[in-house]
Structure 1
Amino acid sequence: MGSSPGKILVVDDTEANRYVLVRLLARVGYEVSEAADGAQALERLADKPDVIVLDINLPDIKGTDLAHRIKSDTETASIMILNMSASFTRTQDRIEALDRGADGFLTQPIDPPEFLSTVKSLIRIRRAEEAVRQSNRDLTHFAFTASHDLQEPLRMVASYLALLQRRAGDKLNDREREYIGYAIDGAARMSSMVRDLLALATADTANLSTERIDAAGIVADALGNLKLKISEEHAAITVGDMPAIQADRVLLSQVFQNLISNGVKFQSDHIPEIHISATREGSFQVFRIRDNGIGIPAESLDRIFGIFQRLHGVDQYPGSGIGLSLCKRIVERHGGAIGVESVVGTGSTFWFSIPT
């Protein structure tokens, strides 16, 4: 006997509707479970369905709200949701359902061939997305392993080069000392890149340890880590009122630290001035880090969050080109987004959103 083409959870408070849908799906080989309300549906998520056929008008929760709840949880966000309704049939109803997390919408009474084709299409999409996620997991694991295993050899290279420089310094001519200096600098840059790669891989794989916390404390952590750099550059940092948010303190502190550090670093001859603010926008808290730095050309704004993307040579502004990519991964794992507005010669405002 062949394996099931997929697992389907049918959620409908009308028994007759569940009976018809379950028979249709089982007849073509799907493994089907059912629930009569939202509470039962949440319990059935333990069965790990591929698709949820979800009635909008449930007795204990609106189907669109249940879809949003499922899609907001990283453990269940990949499940495809097909909303169905006999009463909510306006275009605006369909728009609301799709905006709240549904991957498809059908009106009842259903057309059986259309229904089965829609379910088949959603499973095909889920399989393709899972293949991409698995590929990303494999790449992340490789990056983590490679960067972790490279750390010790790099430490040895840097240590022995420094030892050679100290012990043989007087016996070397200027050119030889220059060559050793290049090697030490190269080892230091590679070590920094490996550390950033390890942080990037960890950001993808580490469990989010979220808690309700005042964002002012997270900003304070970041500023504490940058205390020496801020002092050396005589940077002026101001912080507005900060809200309480649900977040991983360590990871989000890394986001603030990277963005503030960039504001301090990417300057010409100005004293760095950085302002950190937050505003409530819909269901998100949006944080902004505004600086008076060199700015970013408009044609480069779309690519700066990619890994290893650099706009300047390491001689001008040191760094690995991983920091903004790391920020993007962390923010997206929290369910938010990140972006930037910038004017060359005036400065940049990086923003990121975190769900409330």
Structure 2
Amino acid sequence: MRSAASVLGLQVSLLQSGMGGVAGSELACAVSNAGAAGCVGGYKLVGGALSAILARLTAGTDRPVGVNLIPEVVGPEELDRQVAQVLDETPSRVHLSFFGMPDDSVFDRVNVAGRQVVVQVGSVQDGVHAAGRGAVVVAQGTEAGGHLLGTSRRDDLVGALRTLLPDACLVASGGIGSPEEAARALAAGADGVLLGTAFVVAHQSRAHAGFKSAVTAADRTDTVITDVYEIGWPGRRHRVLATAATADPGLPAKFIGRTVVEGKPYLVPRFSAAVPTEATSGRIEEMALYCGRSCSEINEEVSAADVVAAFARVLPGAEPVKTNERAESHVG
């Protein structure tokens, strides 16, 4: 067993989910500057838009940090372009994080470049394969918010993978909203944890204010697993806060809002997979409010550094972490 802190060069074995739209460079840098692994959401960005966010990321922190890419939403050719940009435009302390399994050729390319790889999986088969390619394996349980990669509960998946992979670095994801829940994941066999929902409500998150308020007011029973938010990301179930859209999938898929991504405007249709960000307007309450069962333990907006500090006392490799005002002000 190797802690995520030792493998990725962190103070705390804590990873932040690279949530597209929500996890911009501000959040990723704040998390990394606090001693954990921040991660910017690359989603479908490529070319100049991806270059812009990579530039802000590398200017905002000199610590280990990641870029999250999603093989199944962009396809092999576009993913190849994204990977090439990350490798070409960032220093070696920037690792690549994949939501779902990339092709073996992608592992080969990243490994040859000497970069760390993190892969989030939802099955034992994918976890074993990713570990065999040298990746830090994030085991996502169905308690997690957002798109679901499998059907197993978090601790069941972690335990099964630990049995088969005694020496791998395993990170638990799903339903972790408190240090006590993190400790339970460690007891199941994890070497660290990944948090998503807890960082949605961080001050540095780009989530829309209405999205943040909905998460802090929610209980785990307010979340549902559905597949209605499929425009832009078909074929996946996802855990979200219950909305009018989840209650009535027969509603028309008309435009219900507008948003801006890296300076480019977009219309937002009902049932879009896109999350409402601070640049989004319209019927926020009907949009994809991705939220894990951890929301029962998340009741207020705090800084990213405060989230890291709260979990640092129970996680491997943890050292006392204090809110670093100078570091936070350095975020680009």
Same fold (TM over 0.5): no
Q: TM-score range, shorter-chain basis?
A: under 0.3
Give TM-score scaled by structure 2 length.
0.23
Q: Which has the higher contact order (CA 8 A, sep 6+)?
A: 2
Give TM-score scaled by structure 1 length.
0.22
**Whose helix fraction is larger, Structure 1's or Structure 2's?**
1
